[in-house]
Amino acid sequence: MKPFTRLDARAAPLDIANVDTDQIIPARYLKTVERTGLGKGLFAAMRYEADGTPKPDFVLNQPDYASAGVLIAGDNFGCGSSREHAPWALLDFGIRCVISTSFADIFYNNCFNNGLLPIVLPEDEVRSLMDEARGGNHVFSIDLEAKTVTLPSGRVVSFNLDAGRQEKLVKGLDAIGETLQHVSSIDDFEAQRRLTQPWVAA
């Protein structure tokens, strides 16, 4: 998993509440277990007409936001089913950070398992970020180690994050990576178990 330390990227405002995982990545794109190629299906119903042509009024189809790395979203982002393809699709599109007032629990957990940073801020701060994202300069700076968001205006906003989750992202550790940090202890345990319980299959 790619470590997350600092991100300097354009931010796109998606001022819609209760965006569920089926809206993030529709079910017809879930036939793959690969993490790549899903960006084309991100927000498909919002991004495309029935014939597949892009909708010009959707934020990610607009030239200023087509390469966004930060998404500023409405309340309760990622609700609905537990599909892990949702953070995969966001990452494959190029979005590495989503800022909202709240996230659905399963989506929130899936973000950390895949290297996507979800930031929770008060509603007035999210509104302020959306306003600045709509301005002429759309580049935001996310410093995970300092736990700050620097707006285009230069204003700095702090956010809270569990230290364990922060460490996982900074080091680029998923669940397997966390386990492999303790491989020596695991090997020692298994060697001792073979001595004390040789009847247990390896």
Q: Is 97 a residue whose pLDDT tops 60?
A: yes
pLDDT in tens, 164-194: 999 999 998 765 555 555 556 666 567 577 7
Crossing angle (nearest 10°) for helices 163-171 and 105-114: 40
Q: Report the range of poorest mean pLDDT among 22-36, 50-64, 184-198.
A: 184-198
Q: How far is the C-alpha of 187 from the C-alpha of 202, rounded, in Å?
A: 12
Q: Which long-range contacts (CB under 8 A, 24 or more apart) does 30-33 make?
A: 30/83, 30/85
Q: Is the dihedral of CA 77, 82, 83, 88 positive or negative?
A: positive
Give the whole-angstrom CA distance, residue 11 versus residue 140.
6
Work out the angle between the directed axes of helices 105-114 and 85-93 (0-180°, nearest 10).
50
CB atoms near residue 200 (< 10 Å): 8
Distance, CA of 176 to CA of 159 (rounded, Å) = 27
Instruction: Please name the helix (run of DSSP H) or strand (run of DSSP E) that holds residue 12, with its range, or none.
Output: strand 6-14
Instruction: Look at residue 145 in the predicted model and tell me its pLDDT.
Output: 96
Question: pLDDT-derived band of residue 14, with 50, 70 and 90 as boundaries?
Answer: very high
The band of 55, judged by pLDDT with boundaries at 50, 70 and 90, is very high
More confidently predicted of 98 and 201: 98
What pTM, to 2 d.p., does this model score? 0.86
- 31-53 mean pLDDT: 89
Distances (CA, A) of 61 to 44, 48, 49, 140: 11, 9, 12, 19
Task: Give pLDDT, residue 194.
Answer: 72
Number of neighbouring beta carbons within 10 Å of residue 3: 12
Q: What is the mean pLDDT of residues 116-141?
A: 94
149-172 pLDDT, tens per residue? 999 999 999 999 999 999 999 998
* CA 64 – CA 142 distance, rounded (Å): 19
Q: Which residues pair with 157 in a beta bridge?
A: 149
State the DSSP H helix or E strand holding residue 24, giving kind and residue range, or none if neither. Answer: helix 21-24
141 neighbors 111 (Cβ within 8 angstroms)? no
Q: Which domains does the chain have, with CATH numbers?
A: 6-171 (3.20.19.10), 173-202 (no CATH)
**pLDDT, position 153:** 93
What's the chain's average pLDDT? 89
Return the minimum-mean-pLDDT range out of 13-22, 25-34, 53-62, 111-120. Answer: 25-34
